[in-house]
Structure 1
Protein backbone atom coordinates (compact mmCIF):
# COMPACT_ATOMS: atom_id res chain seq x y z
CA UNK A 1 0.00 0.00 0.00
CA UNK A 2 2.82 2.43 0.87
CA UNK A 3 4.41 1.87 -2.51
CA UNK A 4 1.11 2.64 -4.27
CA UNK A 5 0.65 5.86 -2.27
CA UNK A 6 4.23 6.95 -2.99
CA UNK A 7 3.82 6.15 -6.69
CA UNK A 8 0.57 8.13 -6.81
CA UNK A 9 2.24 11.12 -5.13
CA UNK A 10 5.11 11.03 -7.64
CA UNK A 11 2.64 10.77 -10.53
CA UNK A 12 0.64 13.75 -9.28
CA UNK A 13 3.77 15.89 -8.93
CA UNK A 14 4.95 14.83 -12.38
CA UNK A 15 1.53 15.67 -13.84
CA UNK A 16 1.44 19.12 -12.22
CA UNK A 17 2.00 21.90 -14.72
CA UNK A 18 5.28 23.78 -14.44
CA UNK A 19 5.16 27.07 -12.57
CA UNK A 20 4.79 30.22 -14.59
CA UNK A 21 5.50 33.84 -13.74
CA UNK A 22 1.74 34.40 -13.87
CA UNK A 23 1.40 32.08 -10.85
CA UNK A 24 3.21 34.74 -8.81
CA UNK A 25 0.93 37.62 -9.81
CA UNK A 26 -0.37 37.86 -6.22
CA UNK A 27 2.95 39.58 -5.38
CA UNK A 28 2.14 42.60 -7.59
CA UNK A 29 1.52 45.87 -5.82
CA UNK A 30 2.97 48.64 -3.73
CA UNK A 31 4.04 47.41 -0.26
CA UNK A 32 5.40 49.34 2.73
CA UNK A 33 6.80 48.43 6.15
CA UNK A 34 7.35 51.15 8.76
CA UNK A 35 8.69 50.95 12.32
CA UNK A 36 9.46 54.29 13.93
CA UNK A 37 11.76 56.14 11.54
CA UNK A 38 12.78 52.92 9.73
CA UNK A 39 10.98 52.09 6.49
CA UNK A 40 11.15 49.63 3.62
CA UNK A 41 9.18 49.80 0.39
CA UNK A 42 8.81 47.11 -2.25
CA UNK A 43 6.95 47.47 -5.54
CA UNK A 44 6.11 44.73 -8.06
CA UNK A 45 4.56 45.06 -11.50
CA UNK A 46 1.88 42.56 -12.53
CA UNK A 47 3.21 39.71 -14.67
CA UNK A 48 3.32 40.41 -18.37
CA UNK A 49 5.17 38.61 -21.17
CA UNK A 50 6.71 36.23 -18.62
CA UNK A 51 8.24 38.97 -16.46
CA UNK A 52 7.61 40.79 -13.19
CA UNK A 53 9.75 43.79 -12.30
CA UNK A 54 10.39 44.89 -8.73
CA UNK A 55 12.26 47.54 -6.82
CA UNK A 56 13.00 47.80 -3.12
CA UNK A 57 14.41 50.60 -0.99
CA UNK A 58 15.00 50.99 2.74
CA UNK A 59 15.98 53.83 4.97
CA UNK A 60 15.66 55.73 8.19
CA UNK A 61 13.88 59.07 8.19
CA UNK A 62 14.95 60.83 4.99
CA UNK A 63 18.16 58.76 4.62
CA UNK A 64 18.26 56.00 2.00
CA UNK A 65 20.24 53.00 3.28
CA UNK A 66 19.68 50.29 0.66
CA UNK A 67 18.03 49.74 -2.70
CA UNK A 68 17.64 46.80 -5.04
CA UNK A 69 16.35 46.09 -8.54
CA UNK A 70 14.56 42.74 -8.85
CA UNK A 71 12.90 40.68 -11.56
CA UNK A 72 11.10 37.37 -11.70
CA UNK A 73 11.33 35.56 -15.00
CA UNK A 74 12.06 32.22 -16.61
CA UNK A 75 15.80 31.64 -16.93
CA UNK A 76 17.69 30.07 -19.82
CA UNK A 77 17.25 26.69 -18.10
CA UNK A 78 13.45 27.14 -18.12
CA UNK A 79 13.15 27.52 -14.33
CA UNK A 80 11.45 30.53 -12.75
CA UNK A 81 14.00 32.69 -10.91
CA UNK A 82 14.07 35.73 -8.65
CA UNK A 83 16.99 37.83 -9.86
CA UNK A 84 18.23 40.48 -7.46
CA UNK A 85 20.64 43.34 -8.15
CA UNK A 86 21.45 44.93 -4.78
CA UNK A 87 22.55 48.54 -5.20
CA UNK A 88 22.31 48.00 -8.95
CA UNK A 89 25.20 45.50 -8.85
CA UNK A 90 25.69 42.15 -10.53
CA UNK A 91 22.56 39.97 -10.73
CA UNK A 92 22.15 37.06 -8.31
CA UNK A 93 19.57 34.39 -9.24
CA UNK A 94 17.45 32.40 -6.80
CA UNK A 95 15.45 29.53 -8.36
CA UNK A 96 11.82 29.04 -7.45
CA UNK A 97 12.01 26.09 -5.05
CA UNK A 98 8.30 25.88 -4.23
CA UNK A 99 5.09 27.83 -4.50
CA UNK A 100 1.54 27.26 -3.39
CA UNK A 101 -1.36 29.69 -3.48
CA UNK A 102 -0.02 33.00 -2.20
CA UNK A 103 3.43 31.84 -1.13
CA UNK A 104 6.71 31.36 -2.95
CA UNK A 105 10.22 30.36 -1.89
CA UNK A 106 13.34 31.01 -3.95
CA UNK A 107 16.73 29.46 -3.16
CA UNK A 108 20.42 29.70 -4.07
CA UNK A 109 22.55 27.55 -1.74
CA UNK A 110 25.76 28.82 -3.38
CA UNK A 111 25.09 32.46 -2.42
CA UNK A 112 26.63 33.81 0.79
CA UNK A 113 23.52 35.45 2.30
CA UNK A 114 20.68 35.29 1.86
CA UNK A 115 20.31 31.82 0.40
CA UNK A 116 16.53 31.65 0.72
CA UNK A 117 13.92 34.33 -0.03
CA UNK A 118 10.31 33.59 0.88
CA UNK A 119 7.13 35.60 0.37
CA UNK A 120 3.70 34.93 1.85
CA UNK A 121 0.67 37.09 1.18
CA UNK A 122 -2.42 37.13 3.39
CA UNK A 123 -4.91 39.69 2.09
CA UNK A 124 -3.30 43.13 2.30
CA UNK A 125 -0.31 41.83 4.29
CA UNK A 126 2.88 40.59 2.62
CA UNK A 127 5.62 38.94 4.65
CA UNK A 128 9.12 38.62 3.18
CA UNK A 129 11.74 36.48 4.92
CA UNK A 130 15.39 36.00 3.99
CA UNK A 131 17.57 33.35 5.61
CA UNK A 132 20.32 30.81 5.19
CA UNK A 133 19.31 27.72 3.19
CA UNK A 134 18.48 25.84 6.42
CA UNK A 135 16.24 28.64 7.66
CA UNK A 136 18.75 29.98 10.18
CA UNK A 137 19.61 33.69 10.46
CA UNK A 138 16.13 34.83 9.42
CA UNK A 139 15.27 38.47 8.76
CA UNK A 140 11.61 39.31 8.25
CA UNK A 141 9.63 42.26 6.91
CA UNK A 142 5.88 42.59 7.24
CA UNK A 143 4.44 44.91 4.62
CA UNK A 144 1.00 46.37 4.20
CA UNK A 145 -0.48 47.29 0.84
CA UNK A 146 -0.14 51.01 0.21
Structure 2
Protein backbone atom coordinates (compact mmCIF):
# COMPACT_ATOMS: atom_id res chain seq x y z
CA UNK A 1 0.00 0.00 0.00
CA UNK A 2 2.81 2.42 0.82
CA UNK A 3 4.48 1.93 -2.56
CA UNK A 4 1.16 2.51 -4.32
CA UNK A 5 0.61 5.72 -2.37
CA UNK A 6 4.12 6.92 -3.21
CA UNK A 7 3.58 6.25 -6.89
CA UNK A 8 0.20 7.99 -6.91
CA UNK A 9 1.42 11.00 -4.96
CA UNK A 10 4.29 11.43 -7.41
CA UNK A 11 1.75 11.96 -10.19
CA UNK A 12 -0.29 14.50 -8.26
CA UNK A 13 0.25 18.23 -8.99
CA UNK A 14 0.00 19.02 -5.27
CA UNK A 15 1.64 17.17 -2.42
CA UNK A 16 -1.06 15.77 -0.12
CA UNK A 17 -0.96 16.90 3.50
CA UNK A 18 1.12 14.70 5.71
CA UNK A 19 -0.92 12.87 8.28
CA UNK A 20 1.11 12.96 11.46
CA UNK A 21 1.86 9.63 13.05
CA UNK A 22 4.04 8.52 15.92
CA UNK A 23 7.03 8.12 13.60
CA UNK A 24 8.63 11.38 14.77
CA UNK A 25 9.85 12.49 11.36
CA UNK A 26 11.79 15.73 11.69
CA UNK A 27 10.61 16.86 8.25
CA UNK A 28 7.24 17.74 9.78
CA UNK A 29 8.81 20.46 11.90
CA UNK A 30 10.66 21.90 8.90
CA UNK A 31 7.26 22.47 7.29
CA UNK A 32 6.35 24.84 10.15
CA UNK A 33 9.33 27.21 9.86
CA UNK A 34 7.43 29.53 7.48
CA UNK A 35 5.50 30.73 10.57
CA UNK A 36 8.66 32.41 11.92
CA UNK A 37 8.51 36.18 11.56
CA UNK A 38 6.46 39.19 12.57
CA UNK A 39 2.73 39.17 11.71
CA UNK A 40 0.22 41.99 12.16
CA UNK A 41 -3.49 42.70 11.82
CA UNK A 42 -5.48 45.84 12.65
CA UNK A 43 -9.00 45.93 14.05
CA UNK A 44 -10.83 49.02 15.37
CA UNK A 45 -7.64 51.10 15.70
CA UNK A 46 -5.96 48.29 17.64
CA UNK A 47 -2.87 46.52 16.35
CA UNK A 48 -2.51 42.80 17.01
CA UNK A 49 0.78 41.04 16.39
CA UNK A 50 2.24 37.57 16.55
CA UNK A 51 6.01 37.37 16.61
CA UNK A 52 7.74 34.01 16.06
CA UNK A 53 11.44 33.13 16.08
CA UNK A 54 13.38 29.92 15.67
CA UNK A 55 14.77 28.84 19.05
CA UNK A 56 16.46 25.73 17.61
CA UNK A 57 15.82 23.05 14.99
CA UNK A 58 12.74 21.67 16.78
CA UNK A 59 11.28 24.73 18.49
CA UNK A 60 9.76 28.09 17.59
CA UNK A 61 8.99 30.61 20.34
CA UNK A 62 6.45 33.35 19.95
CA UNK A 63 4.29 35.90 21.61
CA UNK A 64 0.99 37.50 20.78
CA UNK A 65 0.39 41.07 21.80
CA UNK A 66 -1.80 44.07 21.14
CA UNK A 67 -0.92 47.73 20.81
CA UNK A 68 -3.53 50.31 21.80
CA UNK A 69 -2.67 54.02 21.92
CA UNK A 70 1.03 53.15 22.01
CA UNK A 71 0.70 50.76 24.96
CA UNK A 72 1.79 47.17 24.31
CA UNK A 73 0.20 44.26 26.18
CA UNK A 74 1.41 40.68 25.76
CA UNK A 75 -1.67 38.45 25.51
CA UNK A 76 -0.06 35.03 24.97
CA UNK A 77 3.32 33.36 25.12
CA UNK A 78 3.54 30.76 22.37
CA UNK A 79 5.67 27.78 21.50
CA UNK A 80 5.79 25.26 18.69
CA UNK A 81 7.96 22.37 19.77
CA UNK A 82 8.69 18.75 19.21
CA UNK A 83 8.34 16.69 22.38
CA UNK A 84 9.30 13.08 21.81
CA UNK A 85 7.72 12.01 18.54
CA UNK A 86 4.96 14.63 18.60
CA UNK A 87 4.82 18.33 17.77
CA UNK A 88 2.75 20.70 19.88
CA UNK A 89 1.42 24.25 19.72
CA UNK A 90 1.61 25.47 23.32
CA UNK A 91 0.01 28.78 24.29
CA UNK A 92 0.31 30.26 27.77
CA UNK A 93 -2.57 32.65 28.48
CA UNK A 94 -3.56 34.46 31.68
CA UNK A 95 -6.95 32.72 32.08
CA UNK A 96 -5.46 29.19 32.09
CA UNK A 97 -3.53 27.89 35.11
CA UNK A 98 -0.73 26.63 32.87
CA UNK A 99 0.25 25.83 29.31
CA UNK A 100 -2.22 23.93 27.13
CA UNK A 101 -0.83 21.54 24.52
CA UNK A 102 -2.41 21.20 21.08
CA UNK A 103 -1.00 18.24 19.15
CA UNK A 104 -0.10 18.61 15.48
CA UNK A 105 -2.45 16.28 13.59
CA UNK A 106 -1.83 17.38 10.00
CA UNK A 107 0.80 19.45 8.22
CA UNK A 108 1.93 20.41 4.74
CA UNK A 109 3.87 23.35 3.27
CA UNK A 110 1.03 25.83 3.80
CA UNK A 111 -1.14 24.53 6.64
CA UNK A 112 -0.75 23.15 10.14
CA UNK A 113 -3.64 21.77 12.20
CA UNK A 114 -3.31 21.35 15.97
CA UNK A 115 -5.95 19.72 18.20
CA UNK A 116 -6.80 19.24 21.85
CA UNK A 117 -10.32 17.86 22.08
CA UNK A 118 -10.17 17.78 25.89
CA UNK A 119 -9.71 21.58 26.11
CA UNK A 120 -12.82 23.74 26.61
CA UNK A 121 -12.09 26.25 23.82
CA UNK A 122 -10.62 26.20 21.33
CA UNK A 123 -10.30 22.56 20.35
CA UNK A 124 -8.51 23.16 17.08
CA UNK A 125 -5.95 25.77 15.97
CA UNK A 126 -5.13 26.11 12.29
CA UNK A 127 -2.37 28.17 10.69
CA UNK A 128 -2.55 28.68 6.91
CA UNK A 129 -0.08 30.45 4.67
CA UNK A 130 -2.02 32.58 2.21
CA UNK A 131 -1.11 33.01 -1.47
CA UNK A 132 -0.53 36.74 -0.88
CA UNK A 133 2.07 35.94 1.80
CA UNK A 134 -0.31 36.53 4.69
CA UNK A 135 -1.18 34.27 7.59
CA UNK A 136 -4.68 33.00 8.29
CA UNK A 137 -5.06 31.76 11.86
CA UNK A 138 -8.29 30.02 12.81
CA UNK A 139 -9.57 28.67 16.09
CA UNK A 140 -12.46 26.25 16.25
CA UNK A 141 -14.63 24.88 19.02
CA UNK A 142 -17.90 25.74 20.74
CA UNK A 143 -18.27 28.11 23.64
CA UNK A 144 -21.07 30.60 24.23
CA UNK A 145 -22.41 29.86 20.74
CA UNK A 146 -19.14 30.69 19.05
CA UNK A 147 -17.85 28.00 16.74
CA UNK A 148 -14.95 29.48 14.80
CA UNK A 149 -12.92 32.69 14.66
CA UNK A 150 -10.63 33.80 11.85
CA UNK A 151 -7.64 36.11 12.13
CA UNK A 152 -5.86 37.45 9.04
CA UNK A 153 -2.31 38.75 9.45
CA UNK A 154 0.19 40.32 7.08
CA UNK A 155 3.92 39.73 7.36
CA UNK A 156 5.91 42.72 8.60
CA UNK A 157 9.43 41.43 7.99
Same fold (TM over 0.5): yes
Aligned residue-pair number: 138
Q: Is 1:139 aligned to 2:149, yes or no?
A: yes
RMSD value, Cα: 3.2
- Cα distance in 2, alignment partners of residues 89 and 17 from structure 1: 29
How far does residue 38 in structure 1 lie from its aligned partner after superposition? 2.4
Q: Find the counterpart in structure 1 of residue 111 from structure 2.
A: 103
Q: Is the 8 A contact 1:20 1:50 kept in 2?
A: no
Pick from 138, 141, 147 the counterpart of residue 129 of structure 1: 138
How far does residue 83 in structure 1 lie from its aligned partner after superposition? 0.7
Q: Find the counterpart in structure 2 of residue 81 from structure 1.
A: 88
- Cα distance in 1, alignment partners of residues 122 and 66 from structure 2: 17
Q: Is the 8 A contact 1:52 1:71 kept in 2?
A: yes
Q: Find the counterpart in structure 2 of residue 90 from structure 1.
A: 98
Uncovered stretches (5+) of structure 1, i.e. residues with no partner: none
Deviates further, 62-71 or 18-27: 62-71
Q: Is the 8 A contact 1:25 1:47 kept in 2?
A: no
How far does residue 119 in structure 1 lie from its aligned partner after superposition? 0.5
Q: Is the 8 A contact 1:125 1:145 kept in 2?
A: yes
Q: Is 1:40 aligned to 2:9, yes or no?
A: no
- Cα distance in 1, alignment partners of residues 87 and 134 from structure 2: 24
